[in-house]
Amino acid sequence: MSDYLIGDIQGCFDSLQKLLKKVAFSSDKDQLFFLGDVVNRGNKSLETLRFIKDLSENAQMVLGNHDFHLLACALGDKTPSNQDTFSDILNAKDKVALIDFLLQQPLVIEHKNALLLHAGVPPNWDKNTLLSQSFTVEKHLKKSDAEGFINQMYGNSPHTWHLDLEEMEACRYTINACMRMRFCRADGTLEFEHKMGENTAPIGFKAWFLHEHRILTNTDIFFGHWSTLSAINTPHIYPMDHGCVWGQALGAQLSAIRFEDRQVFSVGC
């Protein structure tokens, strides 16, 4: 009986199957947790999403920015860009069921005192703030007017969190923090231009988990999204996007971490 937490698949279905074989995944015994960005960029988004949906009770996932972008293209007023590779889902006969499945997925999973999410937690947020803000977003995604909500969720502002933000603004900040954040200021001010490693922070910014007075420093946090991070020695911080979609030439891997003993299993992509 093991729990495996798996980083960004991005439609790399074959790598996922290779990884599950490596850990000898058994749907009778084991649980899988996907850390978001299960679709897009890779070549088998449809197979990946169907597979995760069909795992049913054996799997949970959090939404990543690519999963959210798929929702916006399927339901909202966004159109896929040239780089998007999820047209197989948009044209699938089970599209409605797959999109409905994604709408039911959370931004954050609390698993035995650990937190699982796609990008990160603002340094000035405690667990209650994170869980209550993400719950508000999840509540809107499950409503019948999810498309109206999603259409209001695109954009970089507000960059900074305030208690007095109006609800839609607070939801936009929450989505941007939980699904897109890499660098931020100590007060949670977000920045979206820089995508390289933790040592490339713009002036005044740090990787979200490197802020000295971060509130959740004693909570294990498992996340994806940031494939350009180097080996991280920050206690309780587990970056799991090992860049699968970028291919073998870059040493890219798809990885799972076994929750019980923190052993990491990886396959080349």
Nearer to Mn ion, 206 or 225 (CB): 225
- At closest approach, how far in Å is the CB of 227 from Mn ion? 9
Residue facing Mn ion at closest CB distance: 225
- At closest approach, how far in Å is the CB of 37 from Mn ion? 4
Angle at 142 between CA 137 and CA 144, to 5 degrees: 120
Nearer to Mn ion, 64 or 188 (CB): 64
201 membership: H or E segment, kind and range = none
- At closest approach, how far in Å is the CB of 112 from Mn ion? 24
Please give the residue ranges that form the binding site for Mn ion (CB under 5 A). 37, 64-65, 225
Nearer to Mn ion, 25 or 227 (CB): 227
CA atoms within 13 A on the CB side of 72: 21
Distance from C-alpha of 133 to C-alpha of 107, rounded to nearest angstrom: 10
Nearer to Mn ion, 65 or 105 (CB): 65
Angle at 139 between CA 226 and CA 42, to 5 degrees: 35
Nearer to Mn ion, 20 or 70 (CB): 70
- At closest approach, how far in Å is the CB of 36 from Mn ion? 6
Of residues 121, 131, 109, 256, the one with CA closest to residue 182:
121
220 membership: H or E segment, kind and range = none
| C-beta of residue 102 within 8 angstroms of C-beta of residue 86 | no
Radius of gyration of the chain (CA): 17
- At closest approach, how far in Å is the CB of 117 from Mn ion? 11
96 membership: H or E segment, kind and range = helix 95-103
Nearer to Mn ion, 25 or 172 (CB): 172
102 membership: H or E segment, kind and range = helix 95-103
- At closest approach, how far in Å is the CB of 55 from Mn ion? 21
